[in-house]
Structure 1
Amino acid sequence: MALIDCYECGKRISDTAASCPSCGAPAKKKTPDRIDASFQIPSTPSRVVSFPLFLAVIFAPFIFFWFLLRHGYSSKVRALGLCWLVIFVYLYFASNNLPNGPESQIAAAPPPKSKLQLLDEKYPESSALYEEVNSAVGCGSKFSDQKKKDIFDRDYKNHWMTWRGVVALADADDVSLNLDGVGIQDLQVDFLSKGAGYDLKKGDKIQVRFLMSTAGGCFLPFWGDYAVIDGKRSAGIEQAAVQDIKSQAGMLDDVDAKSGALRWSIQVASLSDQSTAESLVSTLKRSGYVAYLTRTDNVSRVFIGPLTERAEADRLREQLKQSFHLNGFVVRYVPRQI
């Protein structure tokens, strides 16, 4: 208990008195310093988004976004959840309405192009026949060598040709054809598919589509690559049979190499005119090559060799191709035989 001054008369009175004993003025009520906790409005508890709920809202906002509307989640959390729901709905319907979604694009993707298809697109087609090409740049041409070369490079080289002839020399991977009935071979081509000529026989009449690569002359044939027989774009024998033949050849090569008896030659030409063949042999000898010829079945074949290393034979073949435009091929050594 304490004494206070009366606000009316100024006399000292007890702070617990209901009024002033001197003037009768009622005492002022004291304002409480604190409000009773029982009268306070309870606050809403604050909620934190748990990790499982976060994942659920990310992957299935249609269902779990509504959990964020419960009491305790902040306005910021609710706003972020609503934004993600809108984005998710937009992406869902946009992906379903696309005419070419990722899956349809994969299904509609074109198959990879084959080597022949790529070459068809890269190089032009020519309708020129053998007689036309031969009279312009071959043995039947009267132009100078330089003009023949310019015409060939411009009009025929790296052009697709389709010619028909009779098989003069047949091999699994290449073939020589007689196109005009004169001489032996007017065209030699390498097949697109290894083994495509496996079933060919001399005298067969075939049509080949090929990419022209080298001009021919009076005793050398025109040369082409990527040849296909009568539109057949597969190998002439099953791949397993090809591998079996290659395996047997490899075994024979190993045996011969170990014995030291294996030797190689380069066949550079096959000619019906023996005098032309002899002239070619003389030309090669003057250039320093060991050249010789054999003659069987009225065909003169010009060789260079023998060589003990296959790698050396391959190198010499490339050298002949660059120096003389002779598209020869490496064979096992063929002894001289006239």
Structure 2
Amino acid sequence: MALIECYECKKSISSEAPACIHCGAPMAEQQARAQVPPQAQAQVVPGPAQASTISFGSLPRNRAVPEAVALAPEPEPLPKVMPAAAGRRRRQQVEEPVQPPSAVAGSRPVEGWLKIMVFLLPMVFVWFLLRSGYSAKARLFGFGWLALLILASSLSPK
């Protein structure tokens, strides 16, 4: 008894084992090939079932069960060719400028983070309200809060 290499998984197994203990590949078939001289192996032509067999080496093969044969997939249909003008017309209709969501009368909504930061640090963040799209009401509240804090800091006792 000697250790040989499995032809499927390349792991060591006993030479007397009927199948590989790791992958289940039958060893009797491999031993029969090893005993046939190389000249005779070249003359043996595999049948159609042997040529198209897909083996993942998980279980021994059962010769009583017919093996599945992979068929060629059907070719995909070619895409429909359209005139170039139709594509241009479709692109011109789709290419409209995307506008940000507006709140009232085309004004831009003040995001939550900006509201919080204007309340906490108005000296820095109130200037963001000068960007285009913010309403006069949002700017009035922001700069009014800044003016109130400046007034309160100037009137406080030293």
Do the two structures share a fold, i.e. TM-score over 0.5?
no
Q: Relative contact order (alpha carbons < 8 A, sep ≥ 6): 1 or 2 greater?
A: 2
Whose helix proportion is higher, 1 or 2? 2
Q: Could you state the TM-score of these two structures normalised by the residue count of structure 2?
A: 0.32
Whose strand proportion is higher, 1 or 2? 1
Which protein shows a greater Rg?
1
Q: Could you state the TM-score of these two structures normalised by the residue count of structure 1?
A: 0.16
